[in-house]
Copies of this chain bind each other. A is one copy, B any other.
């Protein structure tokens, strides 16, 4: 996928995935898809409120859920909190339990799906390594 997304490209992407290109969704996609990043629904809602004062949390939840169903973003949980990830490549994470820093890490050692699961259809997975980051110890 390209690094830069025009409004038309985002609009087309949404339509191709069965979603109407509303201003709210365009804004959510710009926030999430333009950069490979991690966002909680609430973080995203607060960011969008600045330029889009009337957007409701519910709209953010719904749109994130639809984007995930389309495979355009991924969802996982850290400390019980949903994290949406616009990096859809298979990768793992490290998480600092002190300052809550969450980073991507490579998966050189671990990209293979498990051996005993040939009969499962595995769709996605990520590991979260928990610990303490350099700044926090």
Contacts and interface: CB of A to CB of B under 8 A. Distances in A.
Contacts of A112: 109-110
Contacts of A131: 120-124
Interface in A76-134: 76-80, 82, 92, 94, 96-97, 105-117, 119-134
Q: How many copies make up the complex?
A: 2
A51 interface: no
Interface residues of A, number: 40
Nearest to A77: B77
B130 A123 contact: yes
Nearest to A114: B105
A127 B130 contact: no
Contacts of A111: 109
